[in-house]
């Protein structure tokens, strides 16, 4: 389909709660349209709906439920659970569709809606276009007859199912008995399940961000504020720390000295571990254009290949399927382990890191520092109106910066898929040059908005 998406961005629909497009009306029509598109065949049709802890989830959840019921789909409500848990449940319950209500790492004022197909993978751009087309059409004549309306029910054991699946991804016979772990759940979707998994595997757990009130998700904590985790690891004299984002599909870690371990280091560690044990498929992994050049060089030295794709974990997942790979992710902490999950899962990725620490009986600092990253700087410039990247003056400034690098580094400038931001990233051997280049480009972009 050639139609452009307007509602859907890099990761579903996202916006300020109770403001177009993130309104109950949009959610209702989305439920109706997606319900109509995925009611195929004569079986009873089912959709699983989960959410994080934002106040606006109470508005969007019933609106989506009403839309799906009106389209003839049964609904299973599971409450606050990580995004990867919804993907897992969609497959295990043989549902036709999965829905996660979350704006991930954004503040509570925002919310979003992510959709999963019956295979547990995020929908393709083409399918999202089909849904948008239906949403703008007259669907009244296609709604279910009174006798064919769906029903809604709560799935009380959903959290327990995910907990057991997460524990099942940890190598058999290993335990976390000698580790003290700080886990920051960002007052988000994993606030119950993540500490439980670590505790049941034997760890001493210091839980943070586990008191959601509808407003405090990601506030001063979680993977978007990793400094908090790092300080708490040092304060509690823990062996390491785990920081999740609001929907727990993203992971950052801290070693015992309170130094940050990003997604690139985590990918390098898992790749080396799996390659050594014969578990890594297709001799490489998939990452995005944002991953550090140091990761690429590290993998090359190990005889492994880094395949890059555009930003967005669903694009990473699609490329993994295309290449037959079972490891991929993003520097920001989305890590996809396709042997266990169809989307990024922060907790499962952390468990793979913990397995290596236990197997090697070494500290997190010794285990997780896989390579020295090249100097890399990323800054964001907020804009209003048309994208400043279409401005000829900005295009010229970017071309000049690329000529200065002359192959000795990378420059990446792109629009965010979830916010009105221009992301400016540069990396190279000369840290001072990279800093000046990013600052000058940011200033030019800001003056053009």
DSSP-derived secondary structure for 399-433 = HHHHHHHTTSEEEEEEE-SSSSEEEEEEEES-HHH
pLDDT-derived band at 3 (thresholds 50, 70, 90) equals: low
**5 domain residue, yes or no:** no
Domain boundary among 156, 176, 210: 156
Q: Same domain, yes or no, for 177 and 233?
A: yes
What is the value of pTM for the model shown? Answer: 0.90
CA angle 256, 261, 263 (to 5 degrees): 150
- Structure token pair of residue 390: 């279409």
Q: Same domain, yes or no, for 140 and 226?
A: no
**300 domain residue, yes or no:** yes
| Distance in angstroms (rounded) separating the CA atoms of residues 15 and 153 | 28
**1 domain residue, yes or no:** no
| Distance in angstroms (rounded) separating the CA atoms of residues 295 and 100 | 31
pLDDT (tens digit per residue) in 179-209: 999 999 999 999 999 999 999 999 999 999 9
Tally of residues, the chain: 449
From residue 317, alpha-carbon distances to 104, 278, 423, 424 in Å are 18, 21, 22, 24
Indicate which residue of 56, 102, 104, 332 is catalytic: 104
On the CB side of 324, CA atoms within 13 Å amount to: 4
* 124 a catalytic residue: no
What pLDDT, on the 0 to 100 scale, is given for residue 4? 66
Q: Same domain, yes or no, for 403 and 315?
A: no
Structural domains counted in the chain: 4
Q: Check if the beta carbon of residue 50 is closer than 8 Å to that of residue 85.
A: yes
| Distance in angstroms (rounded) separating the CA atoms of residues 84 and 87 | 5
Q: Same domain, yes or no, for 207 and 239?
A: yes
On the CB side of 167, CA atoms within 13 Å amount to: 19
Q: Would the pLDDT of 80 be above 80?
A: yes
Q: Same domain, yes or no, for 421 and 406?
A: yes
Q: Same domain, yes or no, for 111 and 37?
A: yes
What pLDDT, on the 0 to 100 scale, is given for residue 238? 98
What pLDDT, on the 0 to 100 scale, is given for residue 357? 98
pLDDT (tens digit per residue) in 204-237: 999 999 999 999 999 999 999 999 999 999 999 9
Domain boundary among 111, 129, 156: 156
First to last CA, the chain: 32
Q: Check if the beta carbon of residue 159 is closer than 8 Å to that of residue 84.
A: no
CATH number for the domain harbouring residue 396? 3.30.310.50
CATH number for the domain harbouring residue 35? 3.40.120.10
- The mean per-residue pLDDT over the stretch 5-31 comes to 93
pLDDT (tens digit per residue) in 235-258: 999 999 999 999 999 999 999 999
Q: Same domain, yes or no, for 187 and 55?
A: no
Q: Would the pLDDT of 165 be above 50?
A: yes
Hey, CA dihedral for 66, 67, 73, 79, is it positive or negative?
negative
What pLDDT, on the 0 to 100 scale, is given for residue 2? 38
Q: Same domain, yes or no, for 274 and 316?
A: yes
For tokens 């993003």, name the residue: 330
**3 domain residue, yes or no:** no
**8 domain residue, yes or no:** no
Q: What is the mean pLDDT of the chain?
A: 95
pLDDT (tens digit per residue) in 38-59: 987 778 999 999 999 999 999 9
Q: Same domain, yes or no, for 119 and 200?
A: no
- The mean per-residue pLDDT over the stretch 421-443 comes to 93
pLDDT (tens digit per residue) in 265-282: 999 999 999 999 999 999
**4 domain residue, yes or no:** no
- The mean per-residue pLDDT over the stretch 122-146 comes to 94
- Structure token pair of residue 294: 């140091």
Q: Would the pLDDT of 354 be above 60?
A: yes
**103 domain residue, yes or no:** yes
User: What secondary structure letter does DSSP report for 390?
Assistant: G
- Structure token pair of residue 45: 């049709």
Q: Same domain, yes or no, for 177 and 199?
A: yes
Q: Would the pLDDT of 1 be above 70?
A: no
Domain boundary among 100, 132, 156: 156
Q: Same domain, yes or no, for 31 and 68?
A: yes
Per the structure, the complete domain to which residue 104 belongs is given by: 13-156
Q: Same domain, yes or no, for 38 and 102?
A: yes
**What percentage of the chain exceeds 70 in pLDDT?**
99
**241 domain residue, yes or no:** yes
- Structure token pair of residue 244: 């999740």
């Amino acid at each position: 389909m050639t139609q452009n998406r307007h509602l859907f961005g890099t990761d579903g629909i996202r916006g300020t709660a109770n403001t177009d497009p993130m309104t109950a009306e949009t959610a209702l029509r989305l439920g109706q349209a997606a319900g109509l598109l995925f009611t195929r065949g004569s079986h009873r049709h089912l959709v699983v709906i989960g959410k994080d802890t934002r106040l606006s989830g109470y508005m969007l959840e019933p609106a989506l439920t009403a839309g799906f019921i009106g389209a003839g789909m049964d609904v299973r409500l599971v409450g606050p659970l990580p995004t990867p848990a919804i993907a897992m449940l969609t497959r295990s319950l043989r549902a036709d569709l999965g829905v996660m209500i979350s704006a991930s790492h954004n503040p509570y004022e925002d919310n979003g809606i992510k959709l999963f197909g019956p295979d547990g993978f995020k929908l393709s751009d083409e399918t999202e276009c089909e849904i948008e087309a239906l949403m703008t059409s007259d669907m009244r004549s296609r709604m279910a007859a009174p006798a064919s309306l769906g029903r809604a029910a709560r799935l009380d054991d959903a959290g327990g199912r995910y907990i057991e699946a997460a524990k099942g991804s940890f190598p058999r016979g290993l335990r976390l008995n000698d580790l003290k772990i700080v886990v920051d759940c960002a007052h988000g979707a994993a606030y119950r399940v993540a500490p439980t998994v670590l505790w049941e595997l034997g760890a001493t757990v210091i839980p943070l961000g586990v008191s959601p009130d509808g407003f405090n998700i990601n506030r001063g904590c979680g993977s978007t504020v990793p400094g908090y985790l790092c300080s708490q690891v040092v304060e509690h004299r823990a062996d390491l720390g785990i920081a999740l984002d609001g929907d727990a599909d993203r992971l950052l870690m801290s070693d015992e000295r309170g130094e940050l371990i990003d997604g690139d280091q985590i990918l390098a560690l898992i790749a080396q571990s799996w390659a050594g044990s014969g578990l890594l498929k297709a001799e490489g992994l998939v990452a995005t254009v944002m991953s550090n050049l140091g990761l690429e060089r590290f993998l090359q030295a190990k005889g492994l290949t880094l395949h890059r794709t555009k930003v967005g974990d669903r694009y990473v997942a699609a490329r993994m399927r295309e290449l037959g790979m079972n490891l991929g992710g993003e520097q920001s902490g989305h890590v996809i382990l396709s042997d266990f999950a169809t989307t990024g899962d922060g907790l499962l990725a952390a468990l793979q890191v913990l397995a290596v620490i236990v197997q090697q009986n070494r500290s997190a600092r010794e285990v997780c520092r896989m390579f020295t990253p090249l100097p890399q700087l990323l800054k964001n410039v907020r804009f209003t109106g048309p994208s400043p990247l279409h401005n000829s003056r900005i295009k010229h400034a970017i071309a000049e910066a690329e000529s200065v690098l002359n192959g000795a580094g990378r420059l990446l400038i792109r629009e965010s898929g979830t916010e009105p931001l221009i992301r400016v990233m540069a990396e190279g051997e000369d840290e001072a040059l990279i800093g000046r280049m990013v600052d000058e480009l940011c200033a030019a972009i800001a003056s053009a908005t």
